[in-house]
Structure 1
Amino acid sequence: MSCGGRICIGGEVRFFSTKLSILRDPVSETTGVTAVERDVTERVRAEQALEDRLALIQRQQEILRIVRAVELLGARCLISGIRPAVAQTMTQLGMGIEKARTFATMRSALKTVMRRQLA
């Protein structure tokens, strides 16, 4: 039988995998149980990091689809609320976001639009 869990050790959450085996004598009567516990914290953290990265890539792809759709309509896309590091990474990876203008806040994007309309 296998199970897992997590415990807090010194303020840090650690993940464990536990395997229990029943020991039997020749007449099939249970004589004991063995337990093996393994610290799988690094594996769990690596899996979570991969899942987080996949979620980020999926969000980036969705943004890219929207940018392309806007461009097909003959408009220019302004994206607000995107972290500079994310925008830079998307540009470096050649994800097609180069033509879109990115802004850290909605306010800065709206100011840019308002200035263009008043000019």
Structure 2
Amino acid sequence: MNIPHLPPVKFAQEIKEVKENLVKVYCEFPFVPTLAMFFEAAAQSSAAFSKSDEKKIGFVISLKNIELIKEATNLTYIMQVKKEYEMGSICEFSFEALDKEEVYAKGIFTIMVKE
């Protein structure tokens, strides 16, 4: 993953699947993740949409309907991130934190990428 984060806050590890508007990214946590960690992993995973090799800085500008569905028990999850819309350097994404297709967290966030 081409993101500027370093351990222990680099959760997004490996891109598993990329489709036009959907990515799945393997994420690993140093301890059982909280809702905030799930969200951060989703934000990092949105970088899988980038077609550039250059690391870019993104800023979260909004959060909506962020919800913990089920308490986490594992250290690894798949972040499924869907690009809902894009307007210039601003993108809105929805996400689900998955373990064996079971949803642990979900929500919507908007990121602005620094040009």
Confirm or deny a common fold (TM above 0.5): no
Specify which structure has the bigger relative contact order, considering alpha-carbon pairs within 8 angstroms and separated by 6 or more residues: 2
The structure with more helix, counted as a fraction of residues = 1
TM-score (norm. length: structure 2): 0.22
The structure with more strand, counted as a fraction of residues = 2
Flag the structure with larger Rg: 1
